[in-house]
Copies of this chain bind each other. A is one copy, B any other.
């Protein structure tokens, strides 16, 4: 047997900047224009965002000398499919887009995930930037390069790691955000409080009590802090080899609850319920002091997110969905039993992965959370 070795070593640099501010659209456009990328951009957005901001964003980008087309998808998680990504690619082809064309993801997490995925597979990869318009995307999903679409078999079943060239977070976009969607984003900020910086929890609870959740300085503060925490974790573990899993705090059970609700619950609501469950399990199994757990639950309640599982969702349905969660690890040595990794905390800011929680304890915890 003859051998040849293909040597593909080297240094790589996929670093990028996150810009956070109020009314930064013009600066963002200039930044894109001078980034050395071609002057050809395609803005990918959805009908809702387009109606609110499409014209304004296009005008700002054109003013900076960029040539802009817009591609508009129907909104909603139910459209986060491979078919939508193929539609983006077909549009790019019809526009004559090539490997130098820049995609601009203008929207929430769904648009960001799909645009990033399309950018990663169109002609084997083209550049893209994130311009998140929801709080959830601004504090979490626009950073870190995870892209993907859902499949029948699960959320984000197909996707890639494809880092954006830049992230432009303009809190002006949040002014038009409906209350429920705004609140959904706070769930992820609460997550960063739970897994790294408890001060965020106090800050959020205080702002809620003062009816100041939409204040500019508060928003800039929690977005900046959430981004700072997330980027630190992504820098250490870009491809979710280990550490990055702590970002799934509340998400393992959250995804299961979201799916079991038939996606009637928003992602943020489901994550809030999932964080409540993870908090209770952390108290039972890992000695999380009750008063620290209460800081999480209290912040969730203060912003109006749910801590209880709606009565019409059965616990069996949640547990069935859990076994499909893609973060599970197939272990052939243990008779094909699925090992599910739950993120627990022993103290606020001290997360770790706990593989496989006893079914009885899980069931007991979820039962205690039924509405």
Interface residues of A (CB under 8 A from B): 1-21, 24, 27, 38-40, 67, 82, 86, 89-90, 93-94, 96-101, 117, 120-125, 143-144, 146-148, 151-154, 156-161, 163, 220, 224, 227-228, 231, 234-235, 238-240, 326, 328-330, 332, 336, 338
Contacts and interface: CB of A to CB of B under 8 A. Distances in A.
A100 B157 contact: no
Most buried by B among A18, A20, A124, A147: A124
The secondary-structure label for the interface of chain A is: mixed
A11 B8 contact: no
A220 B330 contact: no
Contacts of A38: 330, 332
B228 A160 contact: no
A157 B89 contact: yes
A120 to B, nearest CB: 7
Nearest to A161: B124
A238 B124 CA distance: 12
B21 A143 contact: no
B17 A160 contact: no
A218 B7 CA distance: 26
Contacts of A163: 6, 8
Given A6-B235, A27-B1, A123-B157, A93 B15 contact: no
Contacts of A121: 117, 121, 158-160
Given A2-B21, A12-B12, A21-B1, A98 B227 contact: no
A120 B9 CA distance: 19
Contacts of A235: 6-8
A164 B98 CA distance: 26
Given A4-B227, A13-B8, A330-B100, A86 B125 contact: no
A151 B224 contact: no
Contacts of A67: 332
A259 to B, nearest CB: 14
Nearest to A163: B8
Given A5-B16, A121-B158, 20 more contacts: A2-B220, A2-B224, A3-B19, A3-B20, A4-B20, A4-B224, A4-B227, A5-B17, A7-B15, A8-B14, A8-B235, A10-B12, A11-B12, A38-B332, A93-B151, A96-B330, A121-B159, A121-B160, A122-B157, A124-B147
Given A12-B12, A96-B338, A4 B160 contact: no
A67 B234 CA distance: 33
A15 B8 contact: yes
B19 A5 contact: no
